[in-house]
Structure 1
Amino acid sequence: MYALTTAALSFPEFSPALIEIDLGFLGLPTFPIRWYALAYIAGLVIGWRYALALVRRPSLWGGQSPATRDDIDDLLFYVTLGVILGGRIGYILFYQLPFQFEFIQRDPWSLLRIWEGGMSFHGGLLGVAVAILIIARQRGIKLMPIADIAGVVTPIGLFFGRCANFINAELFGRPTDLPIGMVFPEGNAGGTPSAYNWETNQWVYTGAEVARHPSQLYEATLEGLIPAIIISVLVWRFGLLKRPGMAAGLFLLLYGIGRSIVEQFRMPDSFTWGVMPEWLTMGQLLSLPMWLGGAFLVWNAMRKPPASAASA
């Protein structure tokens, strides 16, 4: 039905690793510094610096910042754990146990092999929510403003993460005949090994590839870049943070909308074929609570007057 055409875009010859460190003098194999790991680091560090910039400006909050630098520093530590542990546990609960239970029975140690891939954004989001609850309770600070900080900075990490998915040639889209279609190397779908040959530093093609939507770039734009711009403009120009819960709710809504749209172009996980209905994907199903939670937070924030310097 779909064929490789000359009109299709070629996948850039990016290596999944920025550099490879030769550890042969220690009797160890070469250690690659992967773009995916760097994306996590960049998202966390830039998000941390952005959060500090927000709490340093009391005027954004109506006269009093909700947190100190120490609070944000501690939040970074717990959020890092929440993203990694929540992302992995979420993948196990949302994808592996429902759809790959027999495989897990045969190889239970696969649950711990995180280096083979398998992270869930929705699980990571729940991990971040737990981190926020811990900080709010330990530090005795209000919950909603901290959630708002997360709502402002999270799209940054999403943008970097989806760009890294593109560089890894993973999570590509459905076949397409449109000019924007791109020919990705085989692999990185359904848990198959990477199609990158580390010895020759080249992507491996079989000749049977078809043009597909570069859905990773769609996600980087709709889930990361656009929410980051919209929420930041509302924060710095229109006082969004003066309404507790508004930024967090808006992020949940924008992400839910973006993810639901992109799922129409993204290739579903192979292990969900025949299990999920054709008109619904797991990503859309998991985004439904985000729609509901985001709508509630926005509605609740709009019910109350914005904070002001006089009432802070």
Structure 2
Amino acid sequence: MTATANAIRWENLGLDPVIVDLGFFQLRWYSLAYLAGIVIGWWYLLKLLAQPGAPMARRHADDMVFYATLGIILGGRLGYVLFYRPLYYLENPLEIPMVMEGGMSFHGGVIGVSLGILWMARRHGLDWLRIHDYVACCIPFGLFLGRLANFVNAELWGRATDVPWAVIFPTGGEIARHPSQLYEAFLEGFVLFLVLAFMFWRTQARYKPGMLVGTFVLGYGLSRFFVEFFREADEHLMEFARITHLHMGQWLSLPMILIGLYLILTATRRTARVRPVPADGAAAS
């Protein structure tokens, strides 16, 4: 009771998920977070490509934004449908396209973006793994803003706790909870960005195909796996978590951890394969 009495109430923070409400149209922070993450990521990608050894030209980056956006939306939505609520959407298939009502999977979004990169690289004869390295450096922006938007939406909250910074969310009952959205924003967004930025700007990591994307995949997998211990499982996956002793997010993060380790450990042997992209944007043979 004392912990609940001393907890921070979400309502007292002055937050509102909706920025603009015209009745027939709503602009929400969650939608803006997606848009801002893509735009800022694009801007940062251009800064990375301006450095020596870039795997693609500016015109490829413009195409990359288009494919990445499709991958985020389609992959994120289909990932949520398949990984988190397959039976529900099997019975309600007409709700699958209703993205604005919520339900996106980061793991599905990663798969979607990767497929977009593979398609673009194949079309232009570019090194798909090195493009992954550069794109991976840009993703933490979206992760950071997306998790902050989750907090503003009072969703995906954590387990009950008595820590001084516990929050009582309006959708989580009169229970003081971990603000696990902020934990994820810090680790997956802020910390992971700093690690990748240091590796790109201060080391030779960008000349070792797979090193940067491997670090991102490993870092995200470890961060998500760790934070899930403080996060409440989705209501419809409570039984799954009880039976398997891990949340769905943790199971989906395990392959990422293994793939990340593999890419990092094998990156050095791929260094000799790096080829520059000529100024006209055509891939080198």
Is TM > 0.5 for Structure 1 vs Structure 2? yes
Tell me by how many angstroms 1:278 deviates. Answer: 5.7
In structure 1, the residue matched to 2:30 is 36
| Paired residue type of 1:53 | K
In structure 2, the residue matched to 1:246 is 211
Do structure 1's residue 77 and structure 2's residue 30 form an aligned pair? no
Q: What is the CA–CA distance in structure 1 between the aligned matches of 2:275 and 2:249, rounded to whole Å?
A: 41
In structure 2, the residue matched to 1:168 is 153
Q: What is the CA–CA distance in structure 2 between the aligned matches of 1:307 and 1:92, rounded to whole Å?
A: 38
Structure 1 residue runs without a partner (length 5+) = 23-28, 188-207
Q: What is the CA–CA distance in structure 2 between the aligned matches of 1:269 and 1:260, rounded to whole Å?
A: 15
In structure 2, the residue matched to 1:296 is 262
In structure 2, the residue matched to 1:205 is none
Q: Secondary structure at the match of 2:19?
A: strand
| Paired residue type of 1:246 | M
Provide Cα deviations, 1:246-277, integer angstroms capped at 9, x if missing partner.
00000001001100110000110111122333
> Which residue, out of 117, 120, 123, partners 2:108?
123
CA contact (8 A) 2:217 2:260 kept: yes
Deviates more, 1:106-115 or 1:208-217: 106-115
Do structure 1's residue 267 and structure 2's residue 256 form an aligned pair? no
Cα gap change, 1:185/1:67 in structure 2, threshold over 3 Å: closer, same or farther?
same
Cα gap change, 1:112/1:31 in structure 2, threshold over 3 Å: closer, same or farther?
same
Structure 2 residue runs without a partner (length 5+) = 277-283
> Which residue, out of 142, 156, 166, partners 1:157?
142
Do structure 1's residue 229 and structure 2's residue 194 form an aligned pair? yes
Tell me the C-alpha RMSD between the 2 structures.
2.0
Cα gap change, 1:309/1:69 in structure 2, threshold over 3 Å: closer, same or farther?
closer
Provide Cα deviations, 1:63-116, integer angstroms capped at 9, x if missing partner.
xx211110000000010000000000001110111xxx1x44543322222222
In structure 2, the residue matched to 1:25 is none
Pair member with larger Rg: 1
Q: What is the CA–CA distance in structure 1 between the aligned matches of 2:244 and 2:176, rounded to whole Å?
A: 21
User: What is the TM-score with the length of structure 1 in the denominator?
Assistant: 0.83
Provide Cα deviations, 1:196-215, integer angstroms capped at 9, x if missing partner.
xxxxxxxxxxxx51100000
Cα gap change, 1:178/1:74 in structure 2, threshold over 3 Å: closer, same or farther?
same
Do structure 1's residue 108 and structure 2's residue 73 form an aligned pair? no
In structure 2, the residue matched to 1:90 is 79
Aligned residues: 274
Name the % identity: 45
Q: What is the CA–CA distance in structure 2 between the aligned matches of 1:47 and 1:305, rounded to whole Å?
A: 25
